[in-house]
Amino acid sequence: MSTSTAAPAWGVSDPYTTALRTGRGPLFLRRGDGWLLPLDVERWCARADAVDQAVLERCEGAVLDVGCGPGRLVAELAARGRSALGVDVSEAAVARTHTLGGRALHRSVFDPLPGEGDWGTVLLMDGNVGIGGDVPALLHRMRELLRPGGLLIAETAPGEIDERARVQVVDVAHGGEAVGDPFPWARVGSPALLKRARRAGWRAVAQWAEGDRCFVALRSRSASSSAEPPNRAAVISSQRVRNTSGSSPVADR
């Protein structure tokens, strides 16, 4: 995966910027074959919901939210007095995070980041495990960011999905024309992510689903065996998918 600092079309598209500023969609990622993946802009721009809150309860130490979007999770952590930082390639997302009282950097996760190797928890929420379309490369980068024994929490796609595609951001309510060049994206379900994670030296410590949202918590196998499981869940609890604070590495803005 490229580590270029240039923001992809996701971060600079006018429909995406407009959606984040207004807090409304509809907005989609469109594959070359015309298939559309809806983006849940309204939920992203709302306050952290009950499912989000449960995820945040599992977080340990200082938290890095990769692809933080409009900042609901970073803001909620800040309101709890937790050390947290968001990173996003969208200027509008970073600006909205600041407005909510969270801290965020306008940067790619593959750019140099503050506190590398010291983060207690890294979050890949809202499908951000698909960033760059190369899950193994992203998992490698997560290991570079986390402290030894640190926790990665990733939100996965429902079911047995494991796909990579080139997509574009489209606003079907205003003509449906794509903006910017296609960029790589991936969608993986929990089984596929767990398989890739094992190959990359991660240890699965929790798996759960609430509604149609699915999650996996991972630790590096190279971490000390004394590392504790994530808060609230020590044992993997597979569920059938339904249909539908130490020193802070957070830098100044």
Strand duo 213-220 + 84-88: pairing:
unpaired
Query: What confidence tens digit (pLDDT) does each residue in 104-126 have?
Result: 999 999 999 999 999 999 999 99
- pTM equals 0.84
H/E run at residue 72: helix 72-79
Q: What residue ranges in the chain does DSSP mark as E strands?
A: 27-31, 36-39, 63-66, 84-88, 104-106, 119-124, 146-156, 162-170, 178-188, 202-210, 213-220
Ramachandran region, residue 210 (left: φ > 0; alpha: ψ -120 to 50; beta: rest): beta
Closest CA to 87 of 109, 110, 111: 109
What is the per-residue pLDDT for 67?
97
Is-cis flag, bond preceding 158, omega within 30?
Answer: no
> Which of the residue ranges 103-117, 158-172, 236-250 would you say has the lowest mean pLDDT?
236-250
Q: Between residues 171 and 167, which one has the greater pLDDT?
A: 167
CB-facing half-sphere around the CA of 5: CA atoms within 13 A: 6
- Correct CATH for 49-162+185-220 of 3.40.50.150, 1.10.645.10, 3.20.20.210, 3.40.50.300: 3.40.50.150
> Which of the residue ranges 41-55, 141-155, 223-237 would you say has the lowest mean pLDDT?
223-237
Residue 19 has pLDDT above 70, yes or no: yes
Domain edges within the chain: 49-162+185-220
Q: Between residues 234 and 5, which one has the greater pLDDT?
A: 5
